[in-house]
């Protein structure tokens, strides 16, 4: 016998005891635990306490009806699957029920066959969503691995300067000491230089460690700080390719989410700009612009990133966020960069992202390039 698919828990709300008992017997076979409630208020309590995977509820009930209860539940979890069981006499509620966009409506007397079908359908959907989520997490992880190589070269670059400052200062001091010519003031100043530089080295290590940590750290973060980190992290490859960054970043904007994911999303865009500019050999100046603007009325932050590499061919513009779409050949690109960026921005950070080509002026010259516009919810 094939095993029946189950979820962890289902909440079933029905005020008529006889119906409740009859249906509970069926519903029970689709979950490890079934919670039954007699009215909306009790159901809300159970919802908060047990976080069920599915809700099946009558509409007309005492104390709080099913519609009002579901409105409250949807405010807390918009994606929770709900099935209404309704009687013809509930016709007054139908419009409200439809507006709630629930997974299904079953007319009383309930056909057990239909109920089973509906529940199985929902369980399939939940499993599919879970699989998709796991797949996305895996992609995110693998694209992180792909970024490691690039990051290592960035560490090497970022460290060269402070390491050389430390070594020069220490050798200089040793020499002065040997010549018996090291005034106290100079000694303390040099110690500070060495200290500042080691501090910087340890901070960069912290940044990289956070970047690669698999845990999501949800928090309020300062956008300015993280955009600057992004620029730091790509600075080695930008310098090597003579790319200049022009930035206008508001220092006071805060957003919410996992800042390391935003870091990854932005770095993917910056790396693409670098690749495009690398190939644009006729440009006398290679530029990447990063701007932020607050849109107080919509409570949004807008981040704009554009380059002057000539833009993205119009025929591929609609495809660039698709997974595995690349024009770089499998040796140079996985085609996952912008897909990951899109996933992070829209799903994880609850923002939006769009792309277009733009012709613009900079220092009295006209340029064309790809422009990415990201909006993120703003935290005051």
Residues in the site for ligand ATP, rule: CB under 6 A? 268, 272-273, 276, 307, 309, 312, 320, 325-328, 333-339, 370
The answer to whether the beta carbons of residues 85 and 56 sit under 8 Å apart is yes
In the complex, residue closest to ligand ATP by CB: 337
The string over 174-187, giving b where at least 16 C-beta atoms fall within 10 Å of a residue's C-beta and e elsewhere, is eeeeeeeebeeeee
List Cβ neighbours of 242 (8 Å cut-off, separation of 6 or more): 286
Out of Mg ion, ligand ATP, none, which partner does residue 227 contact, by CB within 5 to 8 A per kind? none
Q: Of 42, 190, 272, 341, which lies in the binding site for Mg ion, with binding defined by CB under 5 A?
A: 272
* Residue 345, contacted partner among Mg ion, ligand ATP, none, CB below 5-8 A by kind: none
Rounded least distance, CB 212 to Mg ion, Å: 19
Return the one option of Mg ion, ligand ATP, none that residue 348 interacts with (CB less than 5 to 8 A, by type).
none
Task: Give the residue from 325, 336, 317, 332 showing the smallest Cα distance to 135.
Answer: 336
Size of the site for Mg ion (CB under 5 A): 2
Q: If binding is defined by CB under 5 A, does position 237 make contact with Mg ion? A: no
Binding-site partner at residue 276 among ligand ATP, Mg ion, none, CB < 5 to 8 Å by type: ligand ATP
User: Is the Cβ of residue 36 or residue 261 nearer to ligand ATP in the bound state?
Assistant: 261
Judged by beta carbon, residue 231 or residue 312, the one nearer ligand ATP is 312
Give strand pairing partners of 54: 10
Greatest CA separation found in the chain? 102
* Binding-site member from 81, 162, 337, 351 for Mg ion (CB under 5 A): 337
Q: What's phi and psi for 215, nearest 5 deg?
A: -80, 145
CA atoms within 13 A on the CB side of 13: 31
- We find the least distance from the C-beta atom of residue 341 to Mg ion, in angstroms, to be 8
CB of 143 to ligand ATP, least distance (A): 7
Cα(324)–Cα(144) distance, rounded to whole angstroms? 15
Least distance between ligand ATP and beta carbon 325 (Å): 5
**Is the Cβ of residue 67 or residue 270 nearer to Mg ion in the bound state?**
270
Number of H helices, E strands in the chain: 10, 12
CA angle 214, 216, 218 (to 5 degrees): 160
Provide the binding-site residues for Mg ion, judged by CB under 5 A.
Answer: 272, 337
């Amino acid at each position: 016998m094939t095993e029946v698919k189950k979820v962890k828990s289902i909440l079933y709300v029905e005020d008529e005891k006889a119906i409740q008992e009859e249906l509970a017997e069926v519903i029970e076979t689709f979950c490890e635990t079934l919670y039954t409630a007699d009215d909306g208020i009790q159901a809300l309590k159970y919802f908060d306490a047990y976080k069920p995977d599915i809700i099946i509820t009558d509409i007309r009930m005492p104390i709080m009806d099913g519609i009002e209860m579901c409105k409250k539940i949807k405010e807390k979890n918009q994606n929770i699957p709900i099935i209404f069981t309704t009687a013809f006499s509930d016709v007054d509620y139908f419009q409200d029920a439809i507006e709630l966009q629930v997974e299904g409506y079953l007319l009383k007397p309930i056909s057990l066959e239909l109920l089973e079908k509906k529940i199985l359908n929902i369980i399939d959907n939940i499993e599919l969503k879970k699989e998709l989520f796991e797949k996305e997490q895996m992609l995110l992880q693998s694209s992180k691995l792909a970024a490691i190589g690039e990051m290592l070269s960035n560490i090497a670059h970022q460290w060269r300067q402070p390491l050389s400052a430390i070594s020069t200062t220490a050798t200089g001091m040793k020499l002065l000491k040997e010549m018996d010519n090291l005034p106290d003031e100079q000694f303390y100043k040099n110690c500070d230089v060495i200290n500042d530089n080691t501090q910087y080295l340890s901070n960069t290590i912290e940044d990289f460690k956070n970047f690669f940590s698999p845990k999501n750290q949800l928090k309020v973060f300062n956008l300015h700080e993280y955009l600057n980190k992004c620029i730091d992290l790509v600075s080695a490859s930008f310098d090597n390719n003579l790319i200049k960054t022009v930035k206008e970043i508001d220092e006071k904007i805060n957003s919410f989410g996992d800042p390391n994911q935003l870091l990854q999303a932005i770095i993917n865009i910056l790396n693409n700009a670098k690749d495009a500019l690398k190939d644009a050999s006729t440009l006398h100046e290679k530029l990447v612009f990063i701007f932020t603007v607050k849109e107080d009325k919509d409570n949004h932050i807008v981040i704009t990133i554009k380059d002057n590499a000539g833009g993205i061919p119009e025929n591929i513009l609609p495809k660039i966020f698709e997974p595995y779409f690349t024009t770089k050949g499998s040796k140079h690109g996985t085609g996952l960069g912008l897909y990951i960026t899109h996933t992070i921005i829209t799903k994880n950070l609850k923002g939006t992202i769009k792309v277009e080509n733009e012709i613009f002026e900079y220092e009295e010259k006209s340029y064309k390039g790809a422009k990415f516009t990201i909006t993120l919810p703003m935290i005051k």
